């Protein structure tokens, strides 16, 4: 029963970085997502979940890949969850995580260099 948290107001955010400067608020919002990805373990977890067959991965599929305690993995999953990058669902004994692809896509769009841009 992982608590789903903010699912950050990725609203109007944002034009590509190369087009317009971010407002202070947009920057805070975006930095929350980048912070969530600013750790090697979390990046691997994210990629393991995102690339897993069926679009979801059980925590039990994840912990084995690291030489870290279960609580530490759980902590990292919580950070990813609270950032809005993933969701978790309990089914019986196990908890399954999947990514929020829109959030990833939005981030990708912010970083894209808009060479052939509208202007």
Q: Provide the binding-site residues for DNA, judged by CB under 7 A.
A: 1-3, 35, 38-39, 41-42, 58-60, 63, 67-79, 88, 90, 92-95
Q: Does 13 bind a second copy (CB under 8 A)?
A: no
Instruction: Tell me the CA distances in angstroms from 99 to 22, 31, 48, 113, 114, one per residue in order.
Output: 25, 18, 10, 24, 26
What value, to the nearest 5°, has the Cα angle with vertex 111 and ends 106 and 112? 95
- Residue 102, H or E segment: helix 101-111
Site string for a second copy, 25-54 (x = CB under 8 A): --xx-xx--xx-xxxxxxxx-xxx-xx---
Which residues in 50-109 contact a second copy (CB under 8 A)?
Answer: 50-51, 65, 99, 101, 104-105, 107-109
């Amino acid at each position: 029963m992982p608590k789903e948290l903010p699912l950050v107001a990725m609203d109007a955010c944002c034009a590509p970085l190369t087009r317009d400067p971010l407002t202070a608020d947009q920057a805070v919002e975006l930095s929350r997502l980048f912070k969530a990805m600013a750790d090697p373990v979390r990046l691997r977890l994210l990629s393991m979940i995102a690339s897993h067959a069926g679009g979801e991965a059980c925590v039990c599929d994840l912990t084995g890949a690291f030489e870290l305690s279960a609580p530490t993995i759980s902590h990292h999953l919580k950070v990813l969850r609270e950032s809005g990058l993933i969701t978790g669902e309990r089914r019986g004994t196990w908890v399954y995580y999947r990514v929020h692809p829109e959030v990833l896509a939005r981030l990708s769009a912010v970083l894209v260099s808009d060479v052939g841009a509208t202007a």
